[in-house]
């Protein structure tokens, strides 16, 4: 469990004492605004505790913040002040369609590295069953090596779940240690504003906030890599696939298997140590964030 540094807010306990107490927020949501739910752990608490960041993120949407310290995606959440908050899958299962068509996930800093990929996939499956149409999943700021592996799991999940968009918080925040507390993870006010800005700009690009301009039509996505460099049996090999058109980021996959010893990462890197010689037809598939896809067959020669 990651400890929370600094005091960013207080716990507010609300008790319904009589029939005159207002109904829960979910029953009072303005119908005119698109509903967006954000799941977060203590890192995302900066969005709840810093009012300007919260107002920016809520601009044009009916924002619900499901943020709790120690929250995990799939496993039992770690305890905070003697209480374990429900994990993301638990909330999705219990609330279902009430979460709205768009969900943002900024959870993972308390999760287990070896279970994270499965938990992300299970959460996306649960969201699909709940009728959620779009999932924006933030990468983790890689202050620990394990978060790099977990970020790979996020990108890989997007390659097989068309409803998922990766929002690269790790890249966006990489050059800004001034946004964070001493642990390099928990947000200072400037960091909260930065995260809110990144998320709101992403929502606007998707045309979700009320009053946001519709995204301009994109050219069809297509693979632009014309050929693969030759490989040598038993030697390290790496080649980067390229695409154009559509809406970035792109996610790469394979309709068919690669020659033994090679693998394709969702980021488009084809790498490994080939174990067989010969000429192979490699079919690659690219998908953009809007779900448009294209395939192309490329020749790969593996020399002795």
pLDDT tens for each residue of 172-201: 898 889 999 999 999 999 999 999 999 998
- The more confident residue out of 7 and 274 is 274
How far is Cα 123 from Cα 147, in angstroms, rounded to an integer?
Answer: 18
| Residues contacting residue 140 through CB under 8 Å, at least 6 positions apart | 108, 109, 147, 150, 151, 154, 169, 170
Q: Are strands 62-67 and 35-40 parallel, antiparallel or unpaired?
A: parallel
Q: Once rounded to an integer, what is the mean pLDDT over residues 59-74?
A: 96
> Where do the structural domains in the chain lie, given as residue ranges?
31-205, 222-303
* CATH, domain 31-205, list 3.90.1150.10, 3.40.50.1110, 3.40.1380.20, 3.40.50.10420: 3.40.50.1110
Q: Quick one: tokens of 113? A: 């590295």
Q: Is the distance from CB of 56 to CB of 197 less than 8 angstroms?
A: yes
Q: Once rounded to an integer, what is the mean pLDDT over residues 230-259?
A: 88
| Residues contacting residue 301 through CB under 8 Å, at least 6 positions apart | 230, 231, 278, 279, 280
Q: Quick one: tokens of 32? A: 């005119």
Q: Are strands 222-223 and 102-106 parallel, antiparallel or unpaired?
A: unpaired
| pLDDT value at 41 more than 50 | yes
Domains 31-205 and 222-303 share a fold: no
The CATH code that applies to domain 222-303 is 2.60.40.10
């Amino acid at each position: 469990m990651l400890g929370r540094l600094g005091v960013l807010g207080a716990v507010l306990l609300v008790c319904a004492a009589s029939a005159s107490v207002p109904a829960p927020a979910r029953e009072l949501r303005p119908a005119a605004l698109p509903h967006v739910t954000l799941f977060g752990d203590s890192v995302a608490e900066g969005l709840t505790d810093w009012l300007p960041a919260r107002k920016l993120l809520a601009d044009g949407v009916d924002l619900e913040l499901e943020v709790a310290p120690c929250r995990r995606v799939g496993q039992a959440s770690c305890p905070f002040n003697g209480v374990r908050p429900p994990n993301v899958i638990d909330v999705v299962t219990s609330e279902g369609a009430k979460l709205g068509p768009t969900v943002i996930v900024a959870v993972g800093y308390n999760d287990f590295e070896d279970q994270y990929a499965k938990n992300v996939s299970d959460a996306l499956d649960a969201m699909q069953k709940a009728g959620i149409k779009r999932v924006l999943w933030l990468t983790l700021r890689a202050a620990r090596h394990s978060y790099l592996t977990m970020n790979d799991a996020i990108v890989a999940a997007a390659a097989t779940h068309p409803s998922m968009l990766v929002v690269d918080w790790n890249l966006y925040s990489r050059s800004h240690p001034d946004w964070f507390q001493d642990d390099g993870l928990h947000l200072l006010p400037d960091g909260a504003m930065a995260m809110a800005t990144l998320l709101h700009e992403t929502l606007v690009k998707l045309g979700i906030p009320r009053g946001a301009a519709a995204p301009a039509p994109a050219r069809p996505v297509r693979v632009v890599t014309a050929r693969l460099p030759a490989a040598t049996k038993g030697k390290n090999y790496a080649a980067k696939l390229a695409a154009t058109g559509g809406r970035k980021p792109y996610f790469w996959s394979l309709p068919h298997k690669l020659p033994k010893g090679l693998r394709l990462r969702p980021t488009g890197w084809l790498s490994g140590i080939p174990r067989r010689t010969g000429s192979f037809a490699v079919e690659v598939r690219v998908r953009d964030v809007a779900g448009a896809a294209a395939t192309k067959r490329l020749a790969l020669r593996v020399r002795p």
